[in-house]
């Protein structure tokens, strides 16, 4: 028995001027990606991708999303993602940009990457800080994030799944600033 091989694309969705839009939801991204695949690869591409395409996780605050699809056709999904210009939300098209940060074979590897990425992002923010108050705030979040790093050990996965997700919303306040 061979398992069904997938690829997980970690996608960063960014809007104009680094703004954040918390309206993006799983369903919305799924539709956008599906339409994009149809636009750029036609019926054949749609047929290849449709069965396995899934949006696993969306964080509207950081604009991160995991998109899963079968390993044979992930290039198709990826190239469709590059052609996306807008997300249509309730009939208003919001210009945006999809950028693939990481391609992984398992969700855990993607998650690890995402946490590392967020951490480095926080460090960058720390460097950009001008007032000491801001500095303190960010270093506090970094410390907090470090606490959650231990559960990444696969043996302690149970704790991980319940706590680690909390890391992301915390940092976000700074991303939007």
Partner 1 sequence: MAAFADLNVPYLDDPRATEKLVSKAVKLGFETIAICKTYRFQNECGKETRKGKGKGKDRASLSPINWDVFPAIQAMKNKNPRLKFYSRITIPLDDQNQIHPVFTEVGNAFDIVAVQPTTEKLFQQACKSLDIDIISLDMTRRLPFYLKFPTVHAAIERGVHFEIMYSTALRSTSERTQLLSIALDLVVFTKGKNIIMSSGAENELDFRGPYDLVNLGLLFNFKEEQSKAAITKNCRAVLFHSEARRGAERSVISGKLLPQHANEETEAITMETCSEDEASKGDDHQKEATGDGDNGDDNYEPTKKKAKV
The footprint of partner 1 (CB under 8 A) covers 14-17, 39-40, 75, 78-79, 81-83, 85, 95-97, 99-101
> In terms of CB distance, is 125 or 164 closer to partner 1?
125
Please state the closest distance from residue 146 (CB atom) to partner 1, in A: 25
Please state the closest distance from residue 45 (CB atom) to partner 1, in A: 11
Instruction: Give the DSSP H or E segment for 64.
Output: strand 64-70
Instruction: Give the DSSP H or E segment for 67.
Output: strand 64-70
* Residues across the chain: 177
Straight-line distance from the first to the last Cα atom of the chain, in angstroms, rounded to the nearest whole number: 50
Please state the closest distance from residue 63 (CB atom) to partner 1, in A: 13
Give residue 73's Cα distance to chain centre. 19
> In terms of CB distance, is 42 or 169 closer to partner 1?
42
> In terms of CB distance, is 48 or 96 closer to partner 1?
96
| Whether the Cβ atoms of residue 46 and residue 33 lie closer than 8 Å to each other | no
Please state the closest distance from residue 29 (CB atom) to partner 1, in A: 17
């Amino acid at each position: 028995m061979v398992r069904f091989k997938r690829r997980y694309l970690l996608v960063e969705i960014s809007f104009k001027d680094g703004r954040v839009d918390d309206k993006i939801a799983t369903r919305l991204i799924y539709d956008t990606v599906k339409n994009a695949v149809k636009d750029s690869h036609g019926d054949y591409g749609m047929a290849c991708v449709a069965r396995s395409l899934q949006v696993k996780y969306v964080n509207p605050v950081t604009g991160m999303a995991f998109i899963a699809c079968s390993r044979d056709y992930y290039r198709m999904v990826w190239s469709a993602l590059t052609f996306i210009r807008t997300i249509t939300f309730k009939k208003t098209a919001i210009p945006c940009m999809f950028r693939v940060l990481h391609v992984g074979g398992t969700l855990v590897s993607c998650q690890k990457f995402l946490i590392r990425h967020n951490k480095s992002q926080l460090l960058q923010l720390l460097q950009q800080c001008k007032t000491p108050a801001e500095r303190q705030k960010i270093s506090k979040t970094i410390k907090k994030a470090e606490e959650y790093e231990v559960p990444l050990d696969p043996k302690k996965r149970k704790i991980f799944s319940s706590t680690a997700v909390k890391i992301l919303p915390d940092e976000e306040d700074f991303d939007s600033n």
